[in-house]
Amino acid sequence: MQIQQIALITCESLGSYTANADSEDERLYQFLKGKGLPVSWQVWDDASVDWSRFDALIIKSPWDYFDKIEAFYSWLDKVEAAGCKVLNPVKTVRWNADKLYFKDMEAAGVTIVPTVWLEQGSSFVAGAAFVELGSEKIIVKPRVSGGAKNTFALTIDEAIARTSEINQLLEQEPFLAQPFIEEIKTDGEWSFIFFNGNYSHTVLKTAKPGDFRVQHFFGGTIHTPTPPAALLATAQTIVDKFAKDCLYARVDGVALKNELVLMELELIEPFLFLSTSEGSLERYYQALLAQL
């Protein structure tokens, strides 16, 4: 098949996300160009783009989508109606945008972090959330979110003090509350990366001292240990159930008593840590060829 055009989907500004990180987008772009693929960067909400002229749209770094979620859903509708091949599939992206997907995964037997759902327009009751989660510290964050936006790590006293602020945010969108997992600070958070359902590589992300956010743009550090076999096996099972047809998937979790507890299944625009594993770009390329 003659491939005419491939769009790598990004956003207008990557902002703070590029801090402390290698230019993964540029690395991937140059690699695919070097393989002879006709790739170009396209901003997802650029109204001037004719999406029908592309053979495939690869969602790579639209890292502002959660700030413009209704516009993003409309864009997905538009490219789907135009018959565009989207990687990952539009149906999967819609499902993965809202953390309600946790409910589907839990129903399928995946161990997730316990969650209290805070509906839009509801009132946050700090005491009730702490009792239900059985934790001395909790995380409160939007159901549609990324990059630790509007994410709070709170003790009961802090939660009471910030209830008004959280309730103001709840007027705008739904949130969720989860126990603060101390092991994320002490042991780190695992990320398992898969291409076309096949395992590629692993990183372990740790927060900087005094912080709980493991993202590299908040000063987190990246390590590449060999993952415990049991954790990798669980991540593979999750991908087999929920992301086997995806060009890329990232399973984020924390090890509790040698069991992988899911923090997030990233199927929209995950950073793929391509610079941390020799051969990862080639594996990505081969997976892309199989999809095309």
For 141-198, the pLDDT digits (tens) are 999 987 778 899 999 999 999 999 999 999 999 999 999 988 887 888 999 999 999 9
- CATH number of 116-180, picked from 3.30.413.10, 3.20.20.300, 3.30.1490.20, 1.10.3720.10: 3.30.1490.20
Query: DSSP 3-state assignment of 105?
Result: helix
Q: Average pLDDT of 66-75?
A: 95
CATH class name, domain 6-93? alpha beta
Whether the predicted pLDDT of 20 surpasses 50? no
Provide the pairing of β-strand 137-142 with 152-155.
antiparallel
Dig out the tokens for 276 from the structure.
Answer: 């941390």
Query: What is the per-residue pLDDT for 144?
Result: 94
**What is the fold of 101-111+183-273?**
D-amino Acid Aminotransferase; Chain A, domain 1 (3.30.470)
HSE-CB of 25 using CA atoms within 13 angstroms: 20
- Label residue 208 by pLDDT band (50, 70, 90): low
Residue 2: what pLDDT? 60
Confidence (pLDDT) at 121: 96
With 0-12 / 13-18 / 19 or more C-beta atoms within 10 angstroms meaning exposed / middle / buried, residue 121 is exposed
Q: What is the mean pLDDT of the chain?
A: 91
CB burial string 245-274: b at 16+ within 10 A, e below = ebbbbbbbbbbeeeebbbbbbbbbbbbbbb
